Amino acid sequence: MSRDKYFEERKRVVDYLVSLGYIKSDKVREALLRVPREEFVPEPYRDLAYVDRPLPIGYGQTISAIHMVAIMTEALDPMPGDKVLEIGTGSGYQAAVLAEIVCKNGGGHVYSIERIPELAEFARRNLDRTGYSDCVTVIVGDGTRGYPEAAPYDRIIVTAAAPDIPKPLIEQLRDGGRMVIPVGDRWVQRLYIIDKKGGKTIIRRSIECLFVPLIGEYGWKY
Ligand code: SAH
């Protein structure tokens, strides 16, 4: 399939997600139009890149469905120039979408933590090939502890399901910042949108969702 063909497919799915109301803002629309999802899925799945469903990326993990990336990014509401922390790099696709908004337009940066070294390497290669490596730093480690080295963050996004909100992430969120995280049990979660204001945290419980588990010290133990 040619590059143009992928762009046509990308545009079609983005238009559809706009019509459904999942994509609300120009910034999310433009970011999803710019990032080539086919470069973030394993080779055998390239031609399925614009089917709106999660796809396997190896090691029992998945790249999220396109509508879920749209919903998470809209909920996070990243601003140009923001410093963002992502937990669960996976393929690097969500990190690239965030980089389009915060870095390409405003000098911000995305720090993204992945616990599986092979996936971190997969993401680095994908981000490099697509021109996002200056905007995204991929770190191997337990993201439930956050990444204190670059804290505090304007935005924190967790793309794996937590049993509870990891305390270090609240601590590393800047006052006035926002975190989006799926919280619940192993097989169903709610998307929490958490605003930190004046030292208080305000939690809004949004849609139902299903993510792979967040495994670590402040997550699931296995
Ligand atoms: N955002 C990714 C999809 C994430 S899938 C994308 O756009 O492709 C969830 C990822 O979270 C998996 O790769 C899994 O290995 C990782 N993960 C699970 N627990 C983690 C932890 N404690 N720290 C960092 N990464 C974790």
Q: What is the CATH number of the domain that holds 17?
A: 3.40.50.150
Contact 220, 163 (CB under 8 A): yes
Residue 2 has pLDDT above 80, yes or no: no
The domain of 119 spans 3-209
Tell me how far the alpha carbon of residue 118 lies from the centroid of ligand 1, in angstroms.
12
Question: What three-state secondary structure class fits 204?
Answer: strand
Task: State the Rg of the chain over Cα.
Answer: 16
- Distance, CA of 218 to CA of 66 (rounded, Å): 27
Beta-strand runs (E) in 59-149: 61-63, 83-87, 109-114, 136-140
Tell me how far the alpha carbon of residue 141 lies from the centroid of ligand 1, in angstroms.
10
Considering 2, 19, 25, 64, which one is annotated as catalytic? 64
Number of domains in the chain: 1
Split at pLDDT 50, 70, 90, the class of 1 is low
> Which residue has the least CA distance to atom 23 on ligand 1?
143
pTM (2 d.p.) = 0.97
pLDDT digits (tens, 9 = 90+) for 186-199: 999 999 999 999 98
Is 19 contained in some domain? yes
Split at pLDDT 50, 70, 90, the class of 145 is very high
Is 216 contained in some domain? no
- Distance, CA of 75 to CA of 179 (rounded, Å): 9
Is 214 contained in some domain? no
CB atoms within 10 A of CB 202: 11
pLDDT at residue 105 in the model: 82
Is 92 contained in some domain? yes
112 given a catalytic annotation: no
- The mean predicted confidence, pLDDT, of the chain is 97
Residue 3 has pLDDT above 70, yes or no: no
Nearest to 199 by CA among 152, 157, 144: 152
* Mutate which of 211, 215, 222 for ligand 1 pocket (most atoms within 8 A of beta carbon): 215
Per the DSSP assignment, residues forming a β-bridge with 177 are none
Is 219 contained in some domain? no
Is 190 contained in some domain? yes
Residue 128 has pLDDT above 90, yes or no: yes
Is 53 contained in some domain? yes
Is 217 contained in some domain? no
